[in-house]
Copies of this chain bind each other. A is one copy, B any other.
Amino acid sequence: MPVVVATIKVKSGQGAEFEAAAKELEAAVNANEEGCSLYRLCKGDEADTYVFVEQYRDAAAVEAHRASDHFKTLGRKMGAFMDGPPSILRLQEV
Contact = CB atoms under 8 A, between A and B. Distances in A.
Interface of A: 1, 3, 5, 19, 22-23, 38, 40-45, 50-51, 53, 55, 89-94
Of A43, A93, A94, the most chain B CB neighbours within 10 A belong to A94
Nearest to A2: B42
A93 B40 contact: yes
Given A5-B5, A38-B38, A51 B89 contact: yes
Q: How many copies does the complex hold?
A: 2
Grouping DSSP codes into helix (H, G, I), strand (E, B) and loop, the A interface class, with mixed when no group exceeds half, is: strand
Contact of A94 (B3, B50, B93): B50
A94 B5 contact: no
Nearest to A22: B94
